[in-house]
Chain A
Amino acid sequence: QVQLVESGGGVVQPGGSLRLSCAASGFTFSDYGMHWVRQAPGKGLEWVAFIRYDGSNKYYTDSVKGRFTISRDNSKNTLFLQMNSLRAEDTAVYSCAKDRWSATTMPNDSFDSWGQGTLVTVSS
C-alpha cells in the first residue's frame, strides 16, 4: 500500500534553514504530482507547495515564495522541501501528500494519501 514517511524536522532559529524529505513507496512515484501541506499548532491545514510528476513545474503559496523550494528525486522516490529564512510563523507539522490522479500538471487534484508529518519549530 502507499506509504509516505517524512523526516528532517526539528528546532531551528529564526532565519535558519531546514530540508525536509518524504520517502514514498507502494506506488509509481514518478507518475504523480506531490504536495507539501502544513498545520500550525491549534490551526487548520495550509497548502504549501506542489511539484509536477516530472519536476518540471512548481507552485507555492505566497507566504513561502522565495524562501521554500520543493523538489523531487524520482530515481530515489523522494520528495524534498528546502526551507530557508525560516520565521516563527513557519512552525508547523509538515506533511507530504500524493495526488489522486497520475500525471497532473497543476495543483488542482485531491490528495488520496498523506504522511504522518514532521514537526518544524522555529524559535530562538
Chain B
Amino acid sequence: QSALTQPASVSGSPGQSITISCTGTTSDVGSYNFVSWYQHHPGKPPQLMICEVSNRPSGVSNRFSGSKSGNTASLTISGLQAEDEADYYCSSYTSNSTMIFGGGTKVTVL
C-alpha cells in the first residue's frame, strides 16, 4: 500500500496560517476517522499534534487544527511561529487492518 500523499514542503511567514494536505483513498482516510498528525523535529521523537481527525491532545497549542473532507485530511497551523519549523506526518488506519503514514511535509518558517 502506497503512503498517503503529502506536499513535500510548505512555507509561511511568522504569524501566517498554513495548511498541509494528506490525501488517501476510500480504503483509509476516506473511510475512517482514525487520522492523526505528528510533528517531528529531527533527532527527537515525533509528537502527536492531532488525533481522530480533529482532536487536539492536552498540551498541544490551539494554533493546530485538523479536518477532513472525503479522502483528504488537513492540518492547519495558524499564527505560524519559528518553533513550528519541523517535519509533519499524517497517519491513517486502513481497511487492511494496518496503519499508513504520509510521506511527510517539511514546514519552513520564512
Among B40, B97, B98, the most chain A Cβ lie within 10 Å of the Cβ of B98
- Taking residues whose C-beta sits less than 8 angstroms from the other chain, chain B's interface range is 20 to 34
Q: Is B46 an interface residue (CB 8 A)?
A: yes
Q: Is B100 an interface residue (CB 8 A)?
A: yes
- Assess the B3–A100 pair: CB atoms within 8 A: no
Q: Is A116 an interface residue (CB 8 A)?
A: yes
Q: Specify which chain A residues have a CB less than 8 angstroms from the CB of B48 in the assembled complex.
A: 100, 110-112
- Assess the B103–A44 pair: CB atoms within 8 A: yes
- Assess the B45–A116 pair: CB atoms within 8 A: yes
Q: Considering the complex of A and B, which 9 residue pairs feature the smallest CB-CB distances, nearest first?
A: A114-B45, A108-B93, A110-B36, A110-B51, A44-B104, A47-B99, A108-B34, A45-B101, A107-B99
Residues of B within 8 A of A (CB): 1, 3, 32, 34, 36, 38, 40, 45-46, 48, 51-52, 57, 87, 89, 91, 93, 97-104
| A–B complex contacts, Cβ < 8 Å, 28 sampled | A44-B102, A44-B103, A44-B104, A45-B38, A45-B46, A46-B3, A47-B101, A50-B99, A60-B98, A61-B98, A62-B1, A62-B98, A95-B45, A106-B97, A107-B93, A107-B98, A108-B32, A108-B34, A110-B36, A110-B91, A111-B38, A111-B46, A111-B48, A112-B48, A112-B57, A114-B46, A115-B45, A117-B45
